[in-house]
Amino acid sequence: MSIDNREAANWTVLIVDDEPDNLSIPREVLTFNGAQVYTAADGIEGLEVLKTVTPTFILLDLSMPNMDGWEMLRQIRANPKTARIPVIALTAHAMSGDQEKVMTAGFDGYIAKPFWLPTFWSEIERCLERLPQH
């Protein structure tokens, strides 16, 4: 599978990050390629969005105030309505062992910030390839 903007145009994406700059770049890239993008500043807001939106996937920061990405992921996985949504960590946690910790926690993918655009797309592609509808 190779992602192009025709496929991205079918996506609904939720990006959860407390840093406005970290929301704007992936939002602009995805929107430019046709995706419908929702954003939230923390896990509490992210869970609110999930009450009315079922995204194709979620890009989730780990370190945020109010509710971090680890707790939001636990709540996503505990809810039968959201448990199967792919969740990709989009995080500055890029030390040795962090990716393994993220994947062991139940994330479907891992993108270190700041990200390189081809890495961003290839990790999304890798995660979505595993879904039956893709």
Give pLDDT tens digits for 3-25: 555 688 899 999 999 999 888 98
Structure confidence at residue 2 (pLDDT): 47
Structure confidence at residue 73 (pLDDT): 97
Give the CATH superfamily of 5-129.
Answer: Response regulator (3.40.50.2300)
Please provide the average confidence, as pLDDT, over all residues in the chain: 88
Q: What are phi and psi of 85, to 5 degrees?
A: -70, 130
Helix/strand/coil (H, E, C) string of the chain?
Answer: CCCCHHHHCCCEEEEECCCHHHHHHHHHHHHHCCCEEEEECCHHHHHHHCCCCCCCEEEECCCCCCCCHHHHHHHHHHCCCCCCCCEEEEECCCCCCHHHHHHHCCCCEEEECCCCHHHHHHHHHHHHHCCCCC
Structure confidence at residue 86 (pLDDT): 94
- Provide the whole-model pTM: 0.90
Per-domain residue ranges of the chain: 5-129
Structure confidence at residue 121 (pLDDT): 87
Cα angle, residue 24 at apex, residues 77 and 95 outer, rounded to 5°: 60
Pick out the chain residues at pLDDT < 50: 1-2, 134
